[in-house]
Chain A
């Protein structure tokens, strides 16, 4: 009897979890559809979009730049050690460039921005929910979706490719500094290798990924903040969920996008 009870409890627990996940996925899908529909219909709060662009894009530059420069430097060192085993040291520059532009720039940049921006958005909107500021927006005849969600989604989707383009350049520069300064490559040869082997698709795919990651970052921050529970605990949980959700979705979307771009 005890075993039967244990199995029933276990199945019930699994069922509850699955139902909870389905419910969350459904709510998120509806929220996304609403958000996208508002992004396509006026009025647009241009001042608010510009303010969010500055907050999400400009103020994320230091953290994304630092991540990129060290990633490029480490990549150059690691690839040099690995490629030396089969006398392919000359490939360091091109592999660093391709690795940064295709994968590490958008993914690591996305994860860093998720930690910084998703959390900030969830905390800000969550606090607005708790302190009735979202209700106040409604009573002032302003749709909270239009004023809070749309500007953040548009700003993050536009800002991320620009951020990642800058991160790509900084990351390649990190590899260049290590390659020339530490590993003894010729400056001209390193730059030639970087430029010659880099193709348009490498850069384009990275920037498309960045735009998708930007959308995910803002979406998760807005969704969790908008549906935040009451009190400090509710806002704290929303912030954590936003960062975890955005990070997992970025990694999953990265796989899907890579399949789409490079499976052929």
Chain B
């Protein structure tokens, strides 16, 4: 008998007014797998992640996490579902009014565990060191950090409570190539270390090649192709070929 997928989407659809962003997304992510979703801007990658997290309610379809349907969950069952997740947001989404360590330890301080300040701070500093930041960063505010450092803090926050599933939304956007590579390495290491299931959305192909086990390409609101990273270069799918080689000619219109 095959193992229950960690995350499963069946026919998920979402429209904003007359703009149908998702038109029936089917996707399955196995436990411990690193799935990367690629696709152009505005093709619904972020909407897919937000539907899984319950930040956006899909119009149709089903979303299952560990076999349990979550797209209509609320209250405690939703809180229990969210406890499994960690997320690195594209812009970091660090809380401006809190120091770096309070950001990293937010879930430890306010979530189910409600650790004392000293203990939470110690864990936060340990996580900051794990992502390559010095202890003195802990008492700074997010506005005092560079873009790369903010990403690292976001990464430390995402892993602080050792989640079962981690989402990465455009983890290397806005970073220089060296810092982007450092972040990619960190993501790969941390996901392996924690044994988490990872789902990343990006259009940075070097990121894809570094962190993906499997790749799914979304275009026109559906998954056009899904397969192992090793098969991506020879997928035989015109959408994937055009996208990964960055060609203007092909089935994907350059101007959307």
How many of chain A's residues touch chain B, expressed as a range? 10 to 19
A8 within 8 A of B: no
A124→B86 CA distance, assembly (Å): 24
A258 within 8 A of B: no
The answer to whether A141 touches B107, judged by C-beta atoms less than 8 angstroms apart, is yes
* Least Cβ–Cβ distance between B210 and chain A, in angstroms: 24
A9 within 8 A of B: no
B93 within 8 A of A: yes
User: Footprint of A on B, CB under 8 Å?
Assistant: 50, 53-55, 79, 82-83, 85-87, 89-91, 93-97, 106-107, 110-112, 157, 167
User: Footprint of B on A, CB under 8 Å?
Assistant: 45, 124, 127-128, 131-133, 135-136, 138-142, 147
A128→B93 CA distance, assembly (Å): 8
The answer to whether B50 touches A131, judged by C-beta atoms less than 8 angstroms apart, is no
Residue of A whose beta carbon sits closest to that of B84: A141
A127→B82 CA distance, assembly (Å): 23
A147→B157 CA distance, assembly (Å): 18
The answer to whether B79 touches A141, judged by C-beta atoms less than 8 angstroms apart, is yes
B79 cross-chain contacts in A, Cβ below 8 A: 141
* Least Cβ–Cβ distance between B98 and chain A, in angstroms: 10
* Least Cβ–Cβ distance between A261 and chain B, in angstroms: 38
A124 cross-chain contacts in B, Cβ below 8 A: 97
B85 cross-chain contacts in A, Cβ below 8 A: 139
The answer to whether A132 touches B106, judged by C-beta atoms less than 8 angstroms apart, is no
* Least Cβ–Cβ distance between B171 and chain A, in angstroms: 14
A136 cross-chain contacts in B, Cβ below 8 A: 87, 89, 93-95
The answer to whether A132 touches B91, judged by C-beta atoms less than 8 angstroms apart, is yes
A132→B93 CA distance, assembly (Å): 5
A42→B3 CA distance, assembly (Å): 39
B86 cross-chain contacts in A, Cβ below 8 A: 139
18 sample A-B contacts, Cβ–Cβ < 8 Å, listed by A number: A127-B96, A128-B95, A128-B96, A131-B91, A132-B93, A135-B50, A135-B89, A136-B89, A136-B95, A138-B55, A139-B55, A139-B82, A140-B82, A140-B111, A141-B83, A141-B107, A142-B106, A142-B110
